[in-house]
Chains A and B, each alone.
Chain A
Amino acid sequence: MLAEILEIRDSGLAAAAQADSDEALEQVRIQYLGRKGRFSTLTPRLPLLPPEERPRVGELINESKRAIEEAVAARSAQLARERLERLGDTEAIDVTFPGTPPALGRLHVLTLVQREIETVMETLGYHVEIGPDVETDWYNFEALNLPVGHASRDMQDTFFMNASEELLLRTHTSPMQIRAMERLKTPPIYAAIPGRTFRRDATDPSHLSQFMQVEALAIDEGITVGDLKGTILYFAQSLWGADRRIRIRPSFFPYTEPSFEFDLSCGVCGGEGCRTCGGDGWLEVGGCGMIHPNVLRNGGIDPERYSGFAWGFGIERIAMLKYDVDDIRLFYENDLRFLEQFA
């Protein structure tokens, strides 16, 4: 019987070593070690042996089973190792196949630009003030040094909301200058004012009758034209890069004195002059100036003690400059093929 045991053991060890898959190995385990395995068939014959031989034979059966168990485990580990080694071949995918992104919407490009503008201003300590789109004559015109009948009102052709022309769609964000002064009362006042504005203009690739503006307002002791220039420069460099320059050109707005237009050095030619900037190296961005003493007074602020500046521009204009968009109407056509180009 001993020889028989050794024969079973050796064939089991050989079968384990030759098994080429986990399934084959499992078959080996069942065939030799299972409840009906080949060793199990020996067990009923044990009582037939002489008593003195039984421990030795029993011992040999157990040793043999352990040996086969170990061989199965070793072979199993070896098969696992080999599988890992071949993984690169067996489970290779085409990594160049196009990705399938999860559905995700986009934010509107003007939202992105407005946020960028506000973030820059907030880092300078400005806070955002929001006001009504339907304004009164007082806040939109009169308080801003634009009296009734004044020719300067023609610069801002207006949509009226009632026959008395008392209620109107604001032509600029500047009414919020007065409202901000009224709300905050005592300088320092540093506010950024974004919002919709309306002008009764024809629509073309560079004009809309409804558009967005942002304006920045600073009122404090000793504010100068230099501070205005510096703030605009900080803003321009934050938005477009430290190599950009700005210039201010004298102009006229009834609510500022002195008044300016401000230009940004052209990013295409670096100020040398090219087709983008029309040859003079500068791009018009917006208007600005030192707040007119009458406007401060109308906001309840003493112009002898405080001075301030305001500057503003169209958000669409900034977005056009930033993303090289050549038709302002695209922002409101909401063609998804356009909107999906922005992050």
Chain B
Amino acid sequence: MRVSYQWLCELAGVNDVPPDRGAQVLTMAGWNVESVTLLDLSEIRVGGVISLEPHPTSRNPLWVYQVDLGNETRQIIAGVDNAVPGSLVPVALPGTTVPNGAVVRDLKIAGVAGQGMLCAADELLLGDDHSGIMLLDEGEPGQPLDELIPSDAVLDVEVTPNRPDCLSHLGLARELAAALGRSLPGDFMPPFTGGIEPPGTELVKVDIEAPDLCRRYIGAVISGVTVGASPRWLQRRLRLCGVRPISNVVDVTNYVALEYGQPLHAFDLERLEGKRIIVRRARSSERLLCLDGEDRTLTPEMLVIADAERPVALAGIIGGEESAVTDSTTEILLEAANFDGVNVRATSRAIRLRTEASSRFEKGLSPELALAGARRAATLLSQVAGGQVHVGWADEYPRPQEPVRVHFRPEQIDAILGVHVPLEEMEAILQRLGFQVRVQDGDWDVLPPVFRLDVTMRADVAEEVGRIYGYDKVPPTLPGRRRTRWVPAAPSVERRLDSVRHALAGSGLTEVLTQALVDGSLLDRMGLGEGMLQVVNPVSEGQDSLRTSLLPSLLEVAAANRNRGRAAVFVFEIGRVYLRRPAEPEGQPAEPQRLAALRSGLATASGGRSAFLELKGALERTIDSLAPLKLTYERSSSPLFHPGRCARVLLQGRQLGYLGELHPTVLEMVDLEGRAAALEIDLEPVLAADPTRRARPLPRFPAVNRDLAVVVAERVEAASLQATIESAAGELLESARAFDEYRGGQLPPGCKSVAFALTFRTQERTLTDPEVDAVVQRIKTALAERHGATFRE
């Protein structure tokens, strides 16, 4: 909210606190001041226009002014000609910094010298008008402008949504005064100052048909109004707060909203059919031509103000064109009402229109505020629009606001804050904020001011006391009481995942983090759309679905890095994917923790095979870092992967995911050239496995090592050869591992040679060569029988 500091200080009775200090005091009391804009007009002078003529040579439209500054005459060049001889205008001389930040300099345009600037309203931060030179209607040439328009500062204050009472100068003035240790000079409720007959209740009849949505409706009749421009002081304050002056009647309603926080509306009473106000729900397909020029179709969820015939305003949001105050209006009905915040918010969202009024109502205002606002506005209207206020206002208030008292003992406030606040100080703070305090035997009973609907319990009072007392006076402590219960320490999932990260980083992979919301259409095209959840209201198509796989994002990382000159990446990510649960598709999805890795930029088929084996090795090292587990692999196929280079990864027979080279068409979808190998597995089963390890005794006898080159048909896989070796060898075989694959040479076509490193050992003695020879022979026989293997020496 934009606040005039001068207005604020006037209401707070403060005249000795500069704006910066005031901003700091407000900030530490909970009113974050985002900016302070000083509005110093002492450098700007009033100038009297003597003459103007077009620039003699310039091709741009420029005018050369002669301006009287009292003791001197200056020649000034301007781009507009709305000031005429006799006009009074604001002049900034060279060297001056204009309030909007511009510095004025001497200049020369096409041979003509200019010695200053004639200012537009927006350059002086006195409005948003930039169409011409600002014309002053008073002042003496040479006079400093701040003698006509006092200097001020505009504070941009962040008002939290629980305090709509402080979307007002009066509310913030009370806060400023309280934080400075002072009290507000005036009463909250302005007096009602006289009135004429007949009573307003005889001139208009008000009914609330929807008391659940309208808690109060005050209609004050003011007659004999002359609609015209507001006085300058009023216009200026509105402009400082970012509100454009329209006419005295409308300006007063806006002014009172800024002062008290109560939105108001003025109807032309003569344009209200039947001189009736009915607050009711709209009927289906009723229409209202609103003040913003939009013709809106209403629904029965919306609350309207209607006359005898039709809706004349959308309650709490915007007025109707046909009942609006015009230049010829003389009799007005001033509305000060209270509408249900939830309903106003819902309607405002439905019609996509948020107004000054709706943004106040939706936060929930006190119905007591309506009367204060109505009285203040009536007084102002009689002052600035010549109106006469009628006695006997219509005031429908079916359920008056119940006072909410809060009971506590002051030590309970201390116990929340963690500091002892002296009793007198606690009481004084509450009183400065408008609370009534009753103390009896150490029990406190406080009554918040009527406009404070946010204070209902002890913690709320503690907040009031704390923020004015000052949280800097609360000593920092650590909770450290004698505990009798605790939760034993256990490594978090994140700490366990760190071992995965370190194993992968140690294998040369760099960790990336990508976003959970991704482009759903890409996932669909990659065949990953099953179980995908889509966002109902995405901000962009690139982020419209929750990912079902990490791999598309890793591929995008590879493509982005390739675009920046890194042709190959070797990366991994640990993160969640999101999958609808088949049993409960509308409930919360499964969010399994996945690991994915990618090596991109591979040039050849053999490079693809090496990367595959490298990823496989890294995966095994990684799994082993979590728990002593053995993975198995089966040839498989998946839409993402190369049909001949894809394996299912299994843990104890359960599928964890896939490992393989990526399918060329998948790479094409993200515009990646070359080959790439990747893996993606579920980490949950691995995390759930028992991580316990036990030391084995070291072998006491030496091992015997033998290499065996097994020649078999191309389709025979290493895993099945290994299984045959293990089952044929018996107990003496300690380990068998395939370490080389060879083709060509003297091998028959369609065959390959797989070299195994065999290690034999027993715990009882040193093995002899003949013993080992016998076992190797058994292995060879089995391989030959089962796989048609021959052997290379």
Contacts and interface: CB of A to CB of B under 8 A. Distances in A.
A111 B513 contact: yes
Given A114-B494, A127-B490, A104 B506 contact: yes
A200 B513 contact: no
A260 interface: yes
Interface in B474-517: 474-479, 481, 483, 485-487, 489-490, 492-495, 498, 501-502, 504-517
Contacts of B466: 225, 250, 258
A109 to B, nearest CB: 9
Interface in A226-253: 226-227, 229-231, 233-234, 247-252
Contacts of A110: 513
Interface stretch (A11-19, A79-87, A147-155): A147-155
Contacts of B319: none
Contacts of B538: 159
A105 B487 CA distance: 35
Given A152-B161, A339-B510, A339-B512, A132 B537 contact: no
B161 A332 contact: no
B698 to A, nearest CB: 28
B479 A134 contact: no
B583 interface: no
Contacts of A254: 162
Q: Which of B457, B463, B560 has most A Cβ within 10 Å?
A: B463
Contacts of B490: 127
A258 B162 CA distance: 12
B415 interface: yes
Contact of A133 (B28, B536, B571, B578): B578
Interface string B554-572: 0001001100101001111
Contact of A161 (B416, B486, B498, B536): B536
Interface string B388-428: 00000000000000000000000000011111000000000
Contact of A222 (B415, B570, B571): B415
A135 B479 contact: no
Contact of B418 (A136, A151, A225, A333): A225
B477 A224 contact: yes
Interface string A157-186: 001111101010100000000000000101
Interface stretch (B340-348, B659-667, B760-768, B781-789): B340-348
Interface string A184-206: 10111110001010101110000
Given A105-B505, A111-B501, A290-B459, A252 B162 contact: yes
Contacts of A105: 504-511, 570-572
A252 B31 CA distance: 10
B588 A292 contact: no
Nearest to A203: B539
A130 B546 CA distance: 19
A200 B537 contact: yes
A3 interface: no
A267 interface: no
Nearest to B163: A252
A337 B476 contact: no
Contact of A332 (B472, B515, B534): B515
Given A106-B511, A186-B485, A336-B566, A230 B478 contact: yes
B509 A130 contact: no
A160 B535 contact: yes
A101 to B, nearest CB: 11
Interface in B511-559: 511-517, 533-539, 543, 546, 557
B362 interface: yes
A150 B474 contact: no
B471 A202 contact: no
B717 interface: no
Nearest to A165: B536
A220 interface: yes
A118 interface: yes
A105 B478 CA distance: 39
Interface in B94-140: none
A151 B341 contact: yes
A188 B479 CA distance: 10
B453 interface: no
A223 interface: yes
A136 B474 CA distance: 37
B516 A133 contact: yes
Contacts of A332: 513-515
Given A225-B466, A231-B478, A202 B501 contact: no
Nearest to A294: B457
B437 interface: no
Interface in B12-46: 27-30, 32
Interface in B630-646: none
Q: Is the interface of A mostly helix, strand, loop or mixed?
A: mixed
Contacts of A160: 535-537
Contact of A134 (B27, B419, B460, B589): B589
B586 A167 contact: yes
Contacts of A339: 510-512
A229 B476 contact: yes
A163 B536 contact: yes
B774 to A, nearest CB: 43
Q: Which of A233, A251, A290, A334 has most B Cβ within 10 Å?
A: A334
Contacts of A231: 478-479
B162 A149 contact: no
B476 A230 contact: yes
Contact of A103 (B508, B512, B576): B508
B467 interface: yes
A94 B690 CA distance: 50
B10 interface: no
A124 B489 CA distance: 11
Q: Which of A136, A152, A165, A258 has most B Cβ within 10 Å?
A: A258
B363 interface: yes
Interface in B356-405: 362-364
B708 interface: no
A57 to B, nearest CB: 50
B493 A127 contact: no
A121 B492 CA distance: 12
A130 to B, nearest CB: 6
A254 B492 CA distance: 30
B460 A257 contact: yes
Contact of B419 (A118, A132, A133, A226): A226
A294 to B, nearest CB: 9
Contact of A188 (B32, B364, B417, B483): B483
B273 interface: no
Contacts of A331: 513
Nearest to A195: B576
B539 A128 contact: no
B462 interface: yes
B574 to A, nearest CB: 9
A106 B495 CA distance: 16
Given A258-B467, A332-B513, A234 B570 contact: no
A38 interface: no
Interface string B158-188: 0011110000000000000000000000000
B539 A200 contact: yes
Interface string B442-483: 000000000000000101101100110001101111110101
A227 B346 CA distance: 40
A225 B479 contact: no
Q: What 8 pairs between A and B have smallest CB-CB spacing? A: A226-B418, A224-B418, A250-B30, A252-B160, A128-B492, A258-B463, A149-B342, A230-B476
Given A108-B513, A198-B516, A225-B417, 9 more contacts: A103-B508, A149-B345, A169-B535, A229-B474, A229-B476, A252-B161, A293-B459, A334-B557, A335-B561
28 contacts: A105-B508, A105-B571, A105-B572, A106-B505, A111-B511, A115-B495, A124-B478, A128-B492, A128-B493, A128-B495, A134-B588, A162-B536, A162-B586, A165-B536, A194-B494, A196-B576, A200-B537, A210-B515, A226-B418, A226-B476, A229-B471, A247-B471, A247-B472, A250-B467, A257-B459, A258-B466, A290-B459, A334-B571
